[in-house]
Structure 1
């Protein structure tokens, strides 16, 4: 889709590439973290996907995990049961309970897409009107390709890290909880949730293409293009970039600080292997920059 954009709107494409190149700490997905008198640790930027081009750990990554004292992911337990239990406890974050409905905030055509997405996710179609926008956006983010791979037993990269750790007798730690993640998602202003959802609904039939575009950015170490690309699609949908301000603050900047603070307890002991989504690494508020602010030397490896 980025190539399509280059043909359809060369100026927009140029802006995306320029912003990507200006975004710091995008040249690697594996980083070495060092501080005097402490054994080095490593930080891996993942994509929460089972695509074999991404989910296979390199020989170096496997070796680093095998020789680590601790391994941490965004959350310790990514099993369906753990996620399901957390969502049951956080019902008020998932659905409207104040009389509002989703269909009253969308066009008839948009809501029909929502109903289709809800049904595909295995939920009752009649519940569509009560589900909050952020949750529908999350459902939209799972492509048909990814859904089929997971159903066939393929594991996302983060679970591959956990599996490798457990194989080496290590207990996987979490930098945050599923409940904290859900609270962050739900904290985005309602009007911004709706605007972001409208962008997703416009491209609902191209979820596979959207995901492939992001995968290509990851493989080429151009993850800094992901957000400018998303904002370009929003602009084409008539949605302003400001609609994503809450997402960037609540889902990235604020969580980066929380994860940095949790990671430091492991880094101080040395030989830690930490894996989080790649978007959490890049830019001035990313983990690479935040760790450097704390006096760590952080250098690109892969």
Structure 2
């Protein structure tokens, strides 16, 4: 079931056999000590866990560095999600289009014609977000935004390793047939996607990295997109992280899926000579 790529906008929480922790201490040649934390971008409030030790580490940092800063700027985000021309549904056959519209209308509890009009000018990948209408019932917490808020309250500078423009451009580059395929699989198998999502959240909450690894390794969700979604971005971040760590004690917070594996941030930092060790919190 090719569902996890659809969750990328909110949850990059795929781990590949790493130490059983989401928090790591980074030591290099400089005296400054930095930290790397794996986040889940969206989680039910009942499973939200942010202990005082984590808050204390953030408060002592010179700078907090997220994947993308200023996530609350919804105006800019909406503009990036809007098509310059054409329709969101152009990537589907007439029959597929009807299925997607009926699915979305049912999910939102509106009429099909209302759904079509509301999403017609949006980019196709925004349809991937709709599956969360069913999954994320009740209060939710955005871990990245929680970190950003804590930093701002302590008057700690917040920056990003990349821009939201770059992140969303990855989906713009995805072949339309591949994007349509992802969306249609969610439409046809909503229950399976929800089960996968719930498992991911539970494993993350327990810091059960082996189970998370098994979940992703038993599927082929990322396919040809894995290099753009994970590997390439990880490699792009390392020089930026190194430059910051020369002069500052940083708290880096990125999707946990970027931490593990031979091309993960942890290994890439170790390859550069940094001592990266897990921290219990």
Q: For the superposition of Structure 1 and Structure 2, which TM-score range results when normalised by the shorter chain?
A: 0.7 to 0.9
Quick check: 1:217 aligned with 2:207?
A: no
How far off its partner does 1:54 sit?
4.8
TM superposition score normalised by structure 2? 0.79
1:189 aligned residue: 175
SS at match of 2:17: coil
SS at match of 2:234: helix
Counterpart-to-counterpart distance in 2, 1:116 and 1:158 = 30
- Matched ranges for 1:145-294 at <5 A: 146=136, 148-150=138-140, 155-205=141-191, 208-223=194-209, 225-226=211-212, 229=215, 241=220, 244-294=222-272
How far off its partner does 1:50 sit?
4.1
Contact 1:55 1:160 in 2 (8 A): no
How far off its partner does 1:231 sit?
7.1
Counterpart-to-counterpart distance in 2, 1:64 and 1:288 = 19
Counterpart-to-counterpart distance in 2, 1:119 and 1:85 = 27
Q: 1:259 to 1:84 in 2, by over 3 A?
A: farther
Relative contact order higher in (CA < 8 Å, ≥ 6 apart) = 2
How far off its partner does 1:272 sit?
0.6
How far off its partner does 1:101 sit?
4.1
Counterpart-to-counterpart distance in 1, 2:89 and 2:18 = 44
Counterpart-to-counterpart distance in 2, 1:202 and 1:224 = 29
**RMSD of aligned Cα (Å):** 3.1
SS at match of 1:75: coil
Q: 1:115 to 1:300 in 2, by over 3 A?
A: same
2:25 aligned residue: 32
How far off its partner does 1:212 sit?
1.9
- In structure 1, list runs of 5 or more residues that go unmatched: 1-19, 235-240
TM superposition score normalised by structure 1? 0.74
- In structure 2, list runs of 5 or more residues that go unmatched: 1-13
2:48 aligned residue: 55
Tell me how many residue pairs correspond in the alignment: 264
Q: Which moved more, 1:213-222 or 1:96-105?
A: 96-105
Contact 2:88 2:120 in 1 (8 A): no
Q: 1:280 to 1:219 in 2, by over 3 A?
A: same
Counterpart-to-counterpart distance in 2, 1:43 and 1:165 = 15
SS at match of 1:85: helix
SS at match of 1:257: helix
Quick check: 1:68 aligned with 2:46?
A: no
- Matched ranges for 1:289-300 at <5 A: 289-300=267-278
Contact 1:70 1:273 in 2 (8 A): yes
Q: 1:169 to 1:250 in 2, by over 3 A?
A: same
Counterpart-to-counterpart distance in 2, 1:194 and 1:268 = 44
